[in-house]
């Protein structure tokens, strides 16, 4: 099982649980990112252990290689001294070291291959984590915008707002009625002597202002005629 299939299983299980409880999107997004971060930490810890194992194998291979070469030299030396029996024993010891060396090298190849896969998976996971964090900001902005719009719409269509506007309309109707009553008092009322003089004075004021305007404009009109 790869880290991605394992991560998918964990995330899906938790998401299903949160969705069943109708949790908000922000929690779901944060959960996915948290699972990815936890998985990344866990995988890196595993890589540290594998690297330590690789280093131990490197030291073992170096020791086995040195011992193999040493027994090879001993076999050669024994033959130079006509000690074929010792040369044979040295070659047997060398053969055992060769088998152990082959096993260690095969194990090393497996460890190196595993590290390469893990490094590749870590790179992919880091890229996905960065993408998730980038998308988190966008999704949270969308959520906040949608929540604000939903709240505003709720207020616009709230019965209390409708009732308030109904009250405003009733107030306007009451004011219209009061103004109508004021106008009704003036209808049919006979004009008094004071009203007549007020109108006369108003007409005289207009006539005086008109005469003054004519006098002001007359010189300029004559100038144009010349």
Q: In whole angstroms, what is the distance from residue 93 CA to residue 52 CA?
A: 29
| Under-50 pLDDT residues of the chain | 22, 221, 226
Q: What is the model's pLDDT at position 161?
A: 57
pLDDT at 177: 74
Residue 170 is classified by DSSP as H
pLDDT of residue 150: 74
* Cα four-point dihedral sign 105, 106, 107, 109: positive
> What distance in Å separates the CA atoms of residue 42 and residue 122, rounded to the nearest whole number?
11
Q: Which residues contact 33 (CB under 8 A, 6 or more apart)?
A: 129, 132, 133, 136
Q: What is the pLDDT of residue 226?
A: 47
Q: What pLDDT is recorded for position 96?
A: 95
Distance CA 8, CA 213 (A): 93
What is the pTM assigned to this prediction?
Answer: 0.49
Task: Write phi, then psi, for 192 (nearest 5 degrees).
Answer: -95, 170
Report which of 143, 71, 55, 65 is spatially closest to residue 107, judged by C-alpha positions: 55
Distance between CA 218 and CA 23 in Å, rounded? 87
How far out from the chain centre does Cα 99 lie? Answer: 56
Residue with tokens 């699972």: 35
- One DSSP character per residue, 136-161 reads HHHHHHHHHHHHHHHHHHHHHT-HHH
What pLDDT is stored for residue 22 in this prediction?
Answer: 47
């Amino acid at each position: 099982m790869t880290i991605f299939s394992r991560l998918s299983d964990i995330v899906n299980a938790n998401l299903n649980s949160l969705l069943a409880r109708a949790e908000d999107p922000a929690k779901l997004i944060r959960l996915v990112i948290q699972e990815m971060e936890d998985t990344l930490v866990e995988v890196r810890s595993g890589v540290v252990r594998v690297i330590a194992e690789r280093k131990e194998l490197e030291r073992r291979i170096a020791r086995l290689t040195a011992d193999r070469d040493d027994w090879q030299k001993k076999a050669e030396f024994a033959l130079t001294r006509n000690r074929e029996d010792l040369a044979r024993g040295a070659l047997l010891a060398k053969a055992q070291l060769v088998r152990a060396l082959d096993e260690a090298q095969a194990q090393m190849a497996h460890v190196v291959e595993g590290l390469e896969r893990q490094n590749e998976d870590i790179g992919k996971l880091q890229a996905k984590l960065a993408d998730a964090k980038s998308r988190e900001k966008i999704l949270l902005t969308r959520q906040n915008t949608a929540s604000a719009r939903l709240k505003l719409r709720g207020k616009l269509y709230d019965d209390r707002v409708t009732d308030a506007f109904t009250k405003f309309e009733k107030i306007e109707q009451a004011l219209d009625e009061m103004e109508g009553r004021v106008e009704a008092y003036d209808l049919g009322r006979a004009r008094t002597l004071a009203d007549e003089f007020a109108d006369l004075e108003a007409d005289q004021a207009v006539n005086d202002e008109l005469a003054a305007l004519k006098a002001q404009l007359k010189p300029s009109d004559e100038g144009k005629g010349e």
